[in-house]
Amino acid sequence: MKVLIVGANGKVGTILAGKLWAHSNFSPVGLIRDMRQQTKFTALGVPSVVGDLEEGVSSFLPGLDAVVFTAGSGSRTGSEKTTDVDQNAAIQLIKDCEGAGVRRFIMISAIGADPNSESTRIQHYLRAKGVADSRLRSSKLDYTIIAPGSLIDERGTGRVQVSEDLGFHGYLPREDLVECIIESLKNFNSIGKTIQVVSGGQKVKDAFIGLIGGGLPPIA
């Protein structure tokens, strides 16, 4: 499965690139926006392409099997950038994937993402993510929306709690989010689902099977 990692130079994207590369079923390509970031990916053995979401990246889509959107404007930019990247660029990418016939789309969203979020802390971000998620749900794509709690850099435990609606916020090591992304790519029952995830007590694969069952690719 040839997978474009959008936001590859980010914390999640970098871990994902390495893990997918080590996996015989996947052939990752990292989308980065600065040539100087290429060194890291060359060292990992992962091919990379240089492009900016805000300028459009449709030329990289033909021939792909899947896209993972793990880009983000980050907390240090203003709300305008959040709208530009987390919302509008994500929506443009969804449209471009529809146009290019790249059906599989994994969106890294966030617990609480909602176009009508009333969060007192990160309302603008959650609304922007929510608008992009809504557009993805109404697309023709085979999407999975993974909505983690707050991401932390601690080592992964390989154990999570998943639900379509957890009802609370929590934390998740980025390494464990990456395991959830890979599990979603492997488990075709995740298509059309929104899966919230925080640290928990179940192995990632078991947690997914418990929530959605284990789905193999359809026989052609």
Ligand X SMILES: NC(=O)c1ccc[n+]([C@@H]2O[C@H](COP(=O)([O-])OP(=O)(O)OC[C@H]3O[C@@H](n4cnc5c(N)ncnc54)[C@H](OP(=O)(O)O)[C@@H]3O)[C@@H](O)[C@H]2O)c1
Should residue 193 be labelled a site residue for ligand X when binding is judged by CB under 6 A? no
28 membership: H or E segment, kind and range: strand 27-32
Size of the site for ligand X (CB under 6 A): 23
CB of 187 to ligand X, least distance (A): 20
- Burial bucket for residue 195 (CB in 10 Å: 0-12, 13-18, 19+): buried
200 lies in the site for ligand X, by CB under 6 A: no
Cα 67 off chain centre by:
8
Dihedral angle of Cα 203, 204, 209, 212, to the nearest 10 degrees: 140
Minimum CB separation from ligand X for residue 174, in Å? 6
Helices 123-137/90-100 angle, 10° precision: 10
Span 116-155, contacts to ligand X by CB under 6 A: 148, 150-151
Residues designated catalytic: 125
Return the number of the residue (11 or 23) whose C-beta is nearest ligand X.
11
Is residue 52 at the binding interface for ligand X, with CB under 6 A as the rule? yes
In angstroms, give the least distance from the CB of 147 to ligand X: 7
**Residues in touch with ligand X (CB under 6 A):** 7, 9-13, 33-34, 52-54, 70-74, 85, 89, 108, 110, 148, 150-151
